Amino acid sequence: MNPARYRHIVVEGPIGAGKTSLTRRLAGHLGADTLLENADDNPFLPRFYQEPRRYALATQLHFLFDRARQLRELAQGDLFRSGTVSDFLIDKDMLFARLNLDEDEFDLYQKVYADLAPQAPAPDLVIYLQAPPDALQERIRRRGIEYERNMDADYLQRLAGSYSAFFHRYEAAPLLIVNTTNLDFAHNETDFALLVERIGKMRGPREFFSRAV
């Protein structure tokens, strides 16, 4: 994979897909900076998993403010020059808002988003990590984050479906859709090497990568 071809890569996917682990590995491989969403710094997130309706708006707004700030700093510092791999695409914030907010809250969120979201340059490549909901739930269980243990299986199902619908329509940047069911980029060197090779062979605007058992 030619680092000069991919100055700005975004890794996306639902909770448990492995986007942050892959972001760090790709950044290390490319000698690039990382831009990571700070889920642990969101004080509303643990409360959201306990009482989704009550804390959905506060959780979403906190993420929006933080992501917008990071992207603004990124643009001001011109960090794309040395390469950046990120584990969030700010365009997908609306996906969570539609999923978690009621109608009035969503209207408010849209207004805040329109005023706040920066006009970040489109990535050179977006990697969308797919996995079935049962695999996502097992990965979430294994990583053992306390506040995620109450995550509802139905919520994961709807979240995975929302991601699929979002990327079905996504055309803002080249897209590599990766079925991670039989891939482990965090711990398997062969899997990671196969992905890097596949990225290097990207030619079309939308391509797919998976591995049979």
Instruction: Indicate the SS3 state at residue 145.
Output: coil
Q: How many residues does the chain have?
A: 213
Residue 117, classed as helix, strand or coil, is coil
β-pair type (125-130, 175-179): parallel
87 is a catalytic site residue: yes
What is the spatial distance between Cα 212 and Cα 33, in angstroms, rounded to a whole number? Answer: 32
How far apart are alpha carbons 100 and 103 in whole angstroms? Answer: 10
Q: Which residue in 41, 87, 93, 134 is the catalytic one?
A: 87
Find tokens 């079935």 and name the residue.
132
What b/e readout covers 46-74, taking b as 16+ CB neighbours within 10 angstroms?
bebbeebeebbbbbbbbbbebbbebbeeb
Short-list 211, 212, 209, CA closest to 201: 209
Residue 176 contacts residue 209 (beta carbons within 8 Å):
yes
Which residues are marked as active site? 87
